[in-house]
A and B are shown apart, each in its own frame.
Chain A
Amino acid sequence: MDVRNELTARLDACQKCNVCTAQCPVAKVNPHFPGPKGLGPDMERFRRGQFIPGETTLDDCSNCKTCEVTCPSGVKITEMILEARRAARKGPHKTMLSLKLRLRGYVLGRAEYLGKLGVLWPGMANQALKLNLVRWALDKGLAVSQKGPLPAYGRPLEVIEDKGGRAGGAFRKQVIYFPGCYTRYNEGDTGRIMIKVLEHIGYKTIVPNFHCCGLPLEANGQFDKARKNGLYNLELMRPYLEAGVPVITSCTSCGLTLKEDYPKLPAPGAQMIGAQTYDLFEFLWQLHEKRELPLDFQEVKACFGYHLPCHLKAQGIGTPALRILRLIPGVKIRNLDAGCCGLSGSYGFKAEKYDKAMKIGNPLFEAVNVGVERGDFQEMLTECGVCKVQIQHGTSIPTKHPLRILAKAYKIILE
């Protein structure tokens, strides 16, 4: 069955029940948005084979995929919307975006280039981003919201080439790490800790010089570039995939892209990538199931709230981080499960969407604040970098990658 047939079949499954719309975080805050059902399966029956000019609301979808995990009928709603967005960009009457917005799409889509620039002089970039004048200029010049929580840059994660010669040869246990732009440029520390954790459990980590996974490019309408990146990355991974080396992600959006979009690319690695990509904790859990995960934990006496990123939820693997962290003596975690944080990649950075993104995140912020006030926990955990930034922005509660708790339990880091 090719992709088109799959979408066709899923379109037929829609029962018109509107549950997706009821759960859609964007529809709740944006009356102009027809909702996932309206824009997805409803419109799709009109779109079939035909281009509908003047569909102006396609870009309002934040691609959080809440509709897809909500749908009682398994309809691929977000995918339909993205597909229509692709067609609209290719169509004869391209959506008439202003130069400013096209430029912004270019800039926000290229988290990677920004990252490379940012990390050349991290101090300077961070200072610049803190300057009101710079933010004002970004807002006016590129419609990048003045108030949005643009992440800071740090020491980038180093590329670790495979020095063991033949892929999969020298080391019995090795993994490929796909850090993603956020970890690579904004939070290199997390990447370095991750490599140490993997080392601790007996795995050597290779970090090829990947490009951006493509998700921010897709979200900003740069479909061709996204595809090129996918093909490039797949080609880098191919020898390892063929040798059966797992690919580990610590960013949930990169993980979703590797699992969902890469298998559709016309490249030799595409057939393997889905099954061989693991979220870090998913990987650790399957080691644990095989009794291969060292359990030499020290006690970590702390309570945490946990936010499940939308793009991890969409992977359909549950909450492996909670499973692993609950093995650590002393750790108490409450899964808040209070919906999307609102930022959704670069969505919340856009000037016209900032307020909406904050509204979307409100139930989550409230759940965090209530939990802290009640003394249920003092800190938040979440895998996704931008969720983290948004939660801190919305609540001022310290938020970290759950990996850090594990590293602490393994005595790899102190805090």
Chain B
Amino acid sequence: MCEIETQVVVIGGGATGVGILRDLSMRGIPALLLEQGDLAHGTSSRFHGLLHSGARYAVKDAKAAQECIEENKIVKHIAAHCIEDTFGWFVYLKGDDPGYLQLWLQGCDQAGIPVKEVPLEEAFRLEPLLSRQTARVFEVPDATVDGFKLLWANVKSAEKYGGSYRTYCKVKSLWLENKDIKGVYAEDLITGEMIQVRSKIVVNAAGPWSAEIAAMSGFDVHMLKNKGSLLVFNQRMFNRVINRLRTPGDGDIFVPHETVTILGTTSQMVDLPDDNQVREQDVSYLLEMGKDLAEGIEQHRVLRAFAGIRPLYESEDASEHEGRGVSRNFALIDHEKRDGVHGLVSIVGGKLTTYRLMAEKVTDWAAARLNVTTACRTAEEPLHHELPADVWNKARQLLGAAAADKMMERLNEEAASVIAVIEKQPELGQFICECEMVTQAEVLHALQDPAVHSLDDLRRKTRLGMGTCQGTYCTYRSTPMLKDAFGSWERTLKEYRILISERWRGITPVLWGDQLRESELARALYLNVLDFKAVESEE
């Protein structure tokens, strides 16, 4: 058994968890984050990637709208490299409810969300695929956010301030003595080793798994697990976020993301926190809804479908909410107050857009208990690092503008070292993943990260396998690096199979057209050209 001592344990390596870790670390509070899988493997990477302007909540939830627009401005400032400031359009179709339009305009105005009407002709020119049923278009400061990049930026920053984290480390039980939190017991899933962490405070930021963590203290947190399915299209169909101007519902938002477009989202209650398999009926439903907003959607290639679990919190009693600053979108549950368990706090609900605010509230709570008076600085201190112009120029010269820019955004301050490697060994500047233009040097760099334990982890770090071919070629091209990193040939083959199976899970719900052809090509490559042994299909 390995023993560790710290002040605060944060359970959950999603956006909220890493935000808390950073905030604690910046305020000088020693903290350790434990994550059962890879960072961002849950909801933080399984959503549409929208940085809300708040306009989607303008009618239903004024408080949330206001929080969103405030956080929107902050995140755009502190994490510019994770954001593409695309702006968002709210599209009012012929026949939509004019009453809602009025309410929406008022709501935006009250929340302080700037709205600008776009003339129709200009709208069609700028977004040729926009439905011809469009009657009016309004622009708001929506943006797109890369959940992966945002998480790593937070973790990197936290590490600089002394915070630490462990992935593939699953909390097995809370260490409680007479309703006092003493820490947690966890298992390192890679080595199988048990870990005892002593701490004064435990923060439950486990997202869809929060109820399970809270239950370890013997008390219930009433969580609803709501599955949202999304589709990924092969190209940027739109250059702005496209929302339907009506009560937010299913299949009414297109979000352009790097080279792809995401169509979201469905809503379905599920029992398990990892029930993220997309059903074919979800896909049909999304496409049916998406047709209203986009012309000729059926002509576009869908790469894959994926789903995330929204951890929705339903409070039984409004009085248990801590502080006025917490809206009903997210809730901070003080288990000391509610259940008499000292030192345990759960943060539930919320949006990625407000991750920083949630972290601030939790950290304020923890700081108060630890008598730390340092103020929160996460709203001011940037997460990214401005790279000098010569590094940009060098990267563009070596890799071409498109590939260089994407890599610089992903690597940020670590880019310079990767570029130096490429300059010295130009062959490492070749693309492992040609669809997403990921270089060998970047893959090698990512593999040095001790938190990368599998090819699938590598994918999240680099976008390897996220493009058109969905891993067919880049998996193969990673072979020698995988073998170096993971040791044996058997392990390499296993990694192949895991990644390709994971990709397959997302492809099967959309197995038609060009993606079906691509899958046949992948089967030809693996089963014939590379002679992988076929497995018996299960009965």
B287 smallest CB distance to A (angstroms): 15
Check if B239 sits within 8 Å of A50, measured CB to CB.
yes
A14 interface residue (CB < 8 Å to B)? yes
Check if A54 sits within 8 Å of B300, measured CB to CB.
no
Check if B296 sits within 8 Å of A12, measured CB to CB.
no
Given contacts A45-B259, A55-B400, is CB(A12)–CB(B234) below 8 Å? yes
Contact residues in A for B402 (Cβ distance below 8 Å): 43, 46-47, 52, 55
A31 smallest CB distance to B (angstroms): 11
Check if B435 sits within 8 Å of A42, measured CB to CB.
yes
Check if B434 sits within 8 Å of A8, measured CB to CB.
no
A98 interface residue (CB < 8 Å to B)? no
21 pairs of residues in contact across A and B, judged by CB atoms under 8 Å: A5-B296, A9-B299, A12-B234, A12-B301, A15-B469, A15-B514, A16-B434, A16-B518, A37-B434, A38-B434, A42-B435, A42-B437, A46-B259, A48-B235, A48-B259, A49-B239, A50-B239, A52-B402, A53-B401, A54-B400, A73-B514
Q: Which chain B residues in 512-536 approach chain A with CB under 8 Å?
A: 513-514, 517-518, 521
Contact residues in A for B296 (Cβ distance below 8 Å): 1, 5
Specify the main secondary structure of chain B where it touches its partner: loop
A4 interface residue (CB < 8 Å to B)? yes
B473 interface residue (CB < 8 Å to A)? yes
Check if B299 sits within 8 Å of A8, measured CB to CB.
yes
Mask: chain B, 286-330; 1 = CB below 8 Å from A; 0 = not = 000000000010011100000000000000000000000000000
A17 interface residue (CB < 8 Å to B)? yes
Check if A16 sits within 8 Å of B468, measured CB to CB.
yes
Complex-state Cα separation, A202 to B513, whole angstroms: 50
B433 smallest CB distance to A (angstroms): 10
Check if B235 sits within 8 Å of A11, measured CB to CB.
yes
Complex-state Cα separation, A86 to B521, whole angstroms: 33
With both beta carbons as reference points, the residue of chain B lying nearest to A35 in the complex is identified as B434
Given contacts A11-B235, A16-B473, A52-B401, is CB(A45)–CB(B128) below 8 Å? no
A69 interface residue (CB < 8 Å to B)? no
A13 interface residue (CB < 8 Å to B)? yes
B311 smallest CB distance to A (angstroms): 33
Check if B396 sits within 8 Å of A54, measured CB to CB.
yes
Indicate which residue in B236, B239, B437, B468 contacts A14 across the interface (CB closer than 8 Å): B468
B119 smallest CB distance to A (angstroms): 19
For the A-B complex with A1-B299, A42-B435, A45-B435 known, give 5 more contacts whose Cβ atoms are closer than 8 Å: A1-B296, A11-B235, A12-B301, A17-B521, A43-B402
Check if B236 sits within 8 Å of A48, measured CB to CB.
yes
Complex-state Cα separation, A38 to B521, whole angstroms: 19
Check if A15 sits within 8 Å of B239, measured CB to CB.
no
Check if B514 sits within 8 Å of A12, measured CB to CB.
yes
Mask: chain B, 176-211; 1 = CB below 8 Å from A; 0 = not = 000000000000000000000000000000000000
Contact residues in B for A46 (Cβ distance below 8 Å): 259, 402, 406, 437
Contact residues in B for A18 (Cβ distance below 8 Å): 434
Please list the residues of chain A having a beta carbon within 8 angstroms of any beta carbon in chain B: 1-2, 4-5, 8-9, 11-18, 34, 37-38, 42-50, 52-55, 57, 73
With both beta carbons as reference points, the residue of chain A lying nearest to B126 in the complex is identified as A49
Complex-state Cα separation, A47 to B403, whole angstroms: 11
Complex-state Cα separation, A73 to B301, whole angstroms: 14
Complex-state Cα separation, A9 to B521, whole angstroms: 19
B472 interface residue (CB < 8 Å to A)? yes
Check if B469 sits within 8 Å of A45, measured CB to CB.
no
Check if B128 sits within 8 Å of A4, measured CB to CB.
yes
Given contacts A8-B235, A45-B235, A54-B396, is CB(A15)–CB(B401) below 8 Å? no
With both beta carbons as reference points, the residue of chain B lying nearest to A6 in the complex is identified as B299
Complex-state Cα separation, A312 to B518, whole angstroms: 30
Complex-state Cα separation, A37 to B400, whole angstroms: 15
Check if B236 sits within 8 Å of A45, measured CB to CB.
yes
Contact residues in A for B299 (Cβ distance below 8 Å): 1, 5, 8-9, 12
With both beta carbons as reference points, the residue of chain B lying nearest to A47 in the complex is identified as B402
Contact residues in A for B521 (Cβ distance below 8 Å): 15, 17
Complex-state Cα separation, A57 to B239, whole angstroms: 25
Complex-state Cα separation, A42 to B300, whole angstroms: 16
Contact residues in A for B513 (Cβ distance below 8 Å): 12
With both beta carbons as reference points, the residue of chain A lying nearest to B259 in the complex is identified as A45
B476 smallest CB distance to A (angstroms): 12
With both beta carbons as reference points, the residue of chain B lying nearest to A13 in the complex is identified as B514
With both beta carbons as reference points, the residue of chain B lying nearest to A44 in the complex is identified as B235
Check if B239 sits within 8 Å of A45, measured CB to CB.
no
With both beta carbons as reference points, the residue of chain B lying nearest to A42 in the complex is identified as B434
Complex-state Cα separation, A48 to B84, whole angstroms: 14
Contact residues in B for A44 (Cβ distance below 8 Å): 235
Q: Which chain B residues in 226-246 approach chain A with CB under 8 Å?
A: 234-236, 239
B403 smallest CB distance to A (angstroms): 8
Complex-state Cα separation, A144 to B275, whole angstroms: 65
Check if B239 sits within 8 Å of A48, measured CB to CB.
yes
Among A37, A43, A53, A57, find the residue whose CB has the most chain B CB atoms closer than 10 A. A43
Indicate which residue in A4, A15, A52 contacts B517 across the interface (CB closer than 8 Å): A15
Complex-state Cα separation, A42 to B406, whole angstroms: 14
Check if A16 sits within 8 Å of B435, measured CB to CB.
yes
With both beta carbons as reference points, the residue of chain A lying nearest to B470 in the complex is identified as A16
Complex-state Cα separation, A34 to B259, whole angstroms: 19
Mask: chain B, 397-425; 1 = CB below 8 Å from A; 0 = not = 00011100010000000000000000000
Among A12, A13, A55, find the residue whose CB has the most chain B CB atoms closer than 10 A. A12
